[in-house]
Amino acid sequence: MGLANLNDVLKDAYASSYAVGAFNAINMEFVQAIVRAAEDLNAPVIVQISQAAIDYAGMEEISAVARAVAEKASVPVVIHLDHATRLDVVERAIKAGFTSVMFDGSSLPLEENVKLTATVAKMAHDAGATAEGEIGRVPSAAKRSWTREELAELMTTPEEAAQFASRTGVDALAVSVGSVHKMKAQQAMVDSRRISEIKRVVGVPLVLHGSSGVTDESLREAVRSGIAKVNIATALSQDFLRAIRSRLAEDLSVSDARIVLDMARQAVASSVAEKIKLLGSAGKAAGNTRRIPGEMLRSDGPVKRDRALGERAAGLERRDAKDRSEDEPVE
């Protein structure tokens, strides 16, 4: 167990019609929360770190944290670079120990997207890593909303998906099927029929981006139709911040930052666990070698773990999951 690449975890998902959760991490607490939830459920998991998160945390710093946690994990953990738009970032990520990389050329002209994605796939494969590309475009709700017609324009067609996958050699393919990045409420329904049609002609696992905004029902249907990797960032960021606000509202005079961060970490773990169950990957880590459940983050220091309290807080906070109204989250 421990470090894995996309092929290690997606082949079985692809064949058995479940999806592996790909959760965005921006710091140590997110990485630990994601891996802890996966270990508790004996699920394979993808920790993804975006180019923007690398700009925030530092390449060597965040990859060292992710690798340290993944190497000790009792389940397969992929360390995946998310939404890279620059080849130098891909190169540095592979050097820093990422086991998988995504090149996002979806806003480039097709031929340029094909060329750069194929280059990235080769770079990854030469290093024993895996690569994801994107065809069609999954837009962002950060600055504006999108009409049905506009979304339809951006959607991936089965023909272009098949061409793109075979010309680039990617191991997984992100497609645009109606989801939108950075939605704060679960309101989107994806086009499951389109997913099935794409799956029929593309030989690699399909990836759904912008999954925070997709309803649970539509997510389940998307997985049944052929999505094998589900990307979630915004919802986790909201859960993290909600837990911090809630803890501070109880006692604004708290002076040990770890108390607040631990609650936030537990809220993220609880949210990741819910998604893992929804995607059907619980219990799918081959060969169960897990250690004592839930003990990975045990602290002997002044922050005493109180899981029940954390889960209570997370549960309370998740009641309004359909009404997310915070400031724009960081991906």
* Chain residues in the site for Zn ion (CB under 5 A): 209
Is residue 136 within the footprint of ligand G3H (CB under 6 A)?
no
The piece of 233-241, 243-251, 264-272, 309-317 that touches ligand G3H (CB under 6 A) is 233-241
Specify burial of residue 145 (Cβ count, 10 A radius: 0-12, 13-18, 19+): exposed
Residue 20: strand pairing partners: 229
| Interface with ligand G3H, residue 275, by CB under 6 A | no
Residue 74 lies near ligand G3H (rule: CB under 6 A): no
CB of 269 to ligand G3H, least distance (A): 17
CA–CA separation, 87 and 272 (whole Å): 30
* Closest of 42, 12, 75 to residue 205, by C-alpha: 12
Q: Which of 182, 184, 275, 324 binds ligand G3H (CB under 6 A)?
A: 182
Shortest distance in whole angstroms from residue 130 CB to ligand G3H: 16
Could you list the active site residues? 82
Q: By CB under 6 A, how many residues form the interface with ligand G3H? A: 17
Q: Considering only 63-71, 150-158, 207-215, 240-248, which stretch makes contact with ligand G3H by CB under 6 A?
A: 207-215
| Closest CB to Zn ion: residue number | 209
User: 5: left (phi > 0), else alpha (psi -120 to 50), else beta?
Assistant: beta
Q: Which of 39, 82, 197, 274 binds ligand G3H (CB under 6 A)?
A: 82
113 binds, among ligand G3H, Zn ion, none (CB under 5 to 8 A by kind): none
Tokens of residue 126, six digits? 């030469």
Side chain identity at residue 143, one-letter code: K
Q: 262 touches which of Zn ion, ligand G3H, none (CB within 5 to 8 A by kind)?
A: none
For the bound state, the minimum distance from the C-beta of residue 231 to Zn ion, rounded and expressed in Å, comes to 5
Distances (CA, A) of 182 to 91, 172, 214, 235, 321: 27, 22, 11, 8, 14
Phi, psi (rounded to 5 degrees) for 120: -65, -40
Query: How many Å from the N-terminal Cα to the C-terminal Cα in the chain?
Result: 27
Binding residues for ligand G3H (CB under 6 A): 24, 82-83, 181-183, 209-213, 231-235, 331
